[in-house]
Amino acid sequence: MSAIAQLLFPSTCLLCNSPGLDLCALCENKIKRNHRPILLTDTQLWAGALYGDELSELILLAKEKHISPARNFLAQLLVESFMRARSEHGESRPVFLVPIPSSKSANRSRGYRHAYLLAGELRKKISSPNRNLITVHEALVVNRKVSDQTNLNKQEREHNVQGAYSVRKLNRIQEQADLFLVDDVVTTGSSVREGIRTLREAGVRPLGVLAAGVSPRLFS
């Protein structure tokens, strides 16, 4: 559905077009929530739901079509991930949310930065005063040409992102802050692992990764 159709008919399900909510109960029930953190090498990943057809479609709508209700739903899953991560690590420290960046060409052709908008929505959904502690910080940037990861296998993904990120404006990252990487979905973990590696090389250790979805294969 186009953004204009979305404005004209605000209350149909994004996935099955039935009237009522942005996401009807039937479609939402097909998206299986996830409560278990996963260890990615040595960094914890909290993901709100298991990746499947419905979540894949919502990510596509948010990422490629700029559909706000789809992004809202992903942000809600991120809030759930965030709350779980915070309950394990305490809630008093400032937080930096660092989006996993898309390539410059993808940002240019879309006209927006998908993960940045997602992290911003996550921040907006956190209630005050906790929200005041949270900053979205684009500390990672893509420094060369990379392909879209969607149709690549694990090895190709790793090769595609290897050395592809740089850290910028590191001096804005405070010593006493918790840093979380933010992504829509973690499938093989290649991008987030490379993000973690790049930040560590620059002397920053992320506390964890927050994602809307995670591939069930990562649990096996």
**Residues making contact with Zn ion (CB under 5 A):** 13, 15-16, 24, 27
CB closer to Zn ion, 73 vs 116: 73
Minimum distance from CB of 219 to Zn ion (Å)?
Answer: 27
CB closer to Zn ion, 13 vs 177: 13
CB closer to Zn ion, 3 vs 26: 26
**DSSP state letters, 18-83:** -BSSSS-HHHHHHS-B----EEETTEEEEEEEE--HHHHHHHHHHHHH--HHHHHHHHHHHHHHHH
CB closer to Zn ion, 27 vs 210: 27
Amino acid making up residue 76: Q
CB closer to Zn ion, 53 vs 148: 53
Minimum distance from CB of 97 to Zn ion (Å)?
Answer: 29
State how far the alpha carbon of 153 is from the alpha carbons of 24, 32, 54, 158, 187, in Å: 33, 24, 21, 9, 10
Residue 181 parent element (H or E):
strand 178-186
Residue 124 parent element (H or E):
helix 114-125
CA-wise closest residue to 201 among 151, 158, 165, 173:
165
Minimum distance from CB of 114 to Zn ion (Å)?
Answer: 23
Minimum distance from CB of 19 to Zn ion (Å)?
Answer: 10
Minimum distance from CB of 102 to Zn ion (Å)?
Answer: 28
